[in-house]
Structure 1
């Protein structure tokens, strides 16, 4: 029996879609330098967005003494700005779209195994674009969440226990930061960028 080279990267495919997980495991198992494992002793865990957020907080706590914790690579259905930002802030190490080519997934796995981060081109572009934009304040995010739900200024004021004039000021600030000319456009931009996903 041939002994596996020590340099092989151990990957755990933990995607909740059984058909996708099977396809990923089969494709990765054919790649040079990668070993697909079925236990928690992996260097890289490949999962979906929700699984990535859940795992990112627990892999470090469950790491064995003397062994680096597994690094989390997400295959996500969306690459909206807020999702990518949230994943990175929560400790996800890599972010790819579910339709990525096998060679891009392999490239991501190898980057994570070397201690680097990896973003798909689209996700990297979203993050680069977000760096040039003004960020919403916490209160503006609260107002935006209610705008997306279709609330009028009076309803927003009542729910957030602030004055209607304050709501108007926040809406004006949101429109300026999102470069929108109407409330409808604010909602459209917020949905496209994933800014309302938290609400």
Structure 2
């Protein structure tokens, strides 16, 4: 089939990599032409395929990989091969990861828990040159852009950091101040532990504190609850 979308999978976890290959090769019009288990091999494999006039149409790139992470590999590929279409596929939705991936030149950003249908749709969009960021990640990105914009204002025009906290973050901050662990907070609020971890990271960022203890102390001092 001449219109097949060729794909290079870059993922350090063997089971995940094999699972992706199986899913993709069952999809009409898609073909996996290579695999890499770390960022360094991803770059080398892409170059080798390109030299054979078989450069992949899409690169699925994990972020957390040994030897060279996904952002570094994306940067290296885009610098030498600007035409590379890279989709970040990861378990992390932290804002810094998203910012770094976009700045590196990635055209797509998806979490690994997406349905196969959404992965296929994203591959097709990016293949046509259309960037795509998963909506729930895009929402966080917009919030972070707003936070950064506010922090860049003159001091006299800034709102206080705690005004940026959402009701849910205030709720989690209160439990932090009580000494609750992420697991306990997750159980109390019926949330995934990873979600709590993300909220805690956002709270520390918004309050401009380095750790949970400082955040709790600041919250008590400013009587946030």
For 1:35-90, what per-residue CA distance to the aligned partner results, in whole angstroms no more than 9, with x for missing partners?
A: 11115221211121244302221113343xxxx63211111112133322222122
In structure 2, what is the equivalent of residue 42 of structure 1?
56
Q: CA deviation at 1:21?
A: 0.5
Write the distance in 1 (CA, Å) between the matches of 2:59 and 2:28: 18
Partner residue of 2:139 out of 98, 103, 125 = 125
Q: Bigger relative contact order, structure 1 or 2, given CA contacts below 8 A and separation 6+?
A: 1
In structure 1, what is the equivalent of residue 223 of structure 2?
none
In structure 2, what is the equivalent of residue 191 of structure 1?
201
Superposed CA RMSD: 3.4
Q: Which runs of 5+ in 2 are unaligned?
A: 35-44, 47-54, 177-196, 211-225
Alignment size in residue pairs: 156
SS at match of 1:45: strand
In structure 2, what is the equivalent of residue 69 of structure 1?
83
SS at match of 2:141: helix
In structure 1, what is the equivalent of residue 126 of structure 2?
112
- Give TM-score scaled by structure 1 length: 0.64
CA 1:54–1:71 in 2, change beyond 3 Å: closer, same or farther?
A: same
Q: Which runs of 5+ in 1 are unaligned?
A: 139-168
- Give TM-score scaled by structure 2 length: 0.57
For 1:117-174, what per-residue CA distance to the aligned partner results, in whole angstroms no more than 9, with x for missing partners?
A: 1111211221233344354658xxxxxxxxxxxxxxxxxxxxxxxxxxxxxx9xx976
Does 2:103 align with 1:85?
Answer: no
Write the distance in 1 (CA, Å) between the matches of 2:14 and 2:136: 26
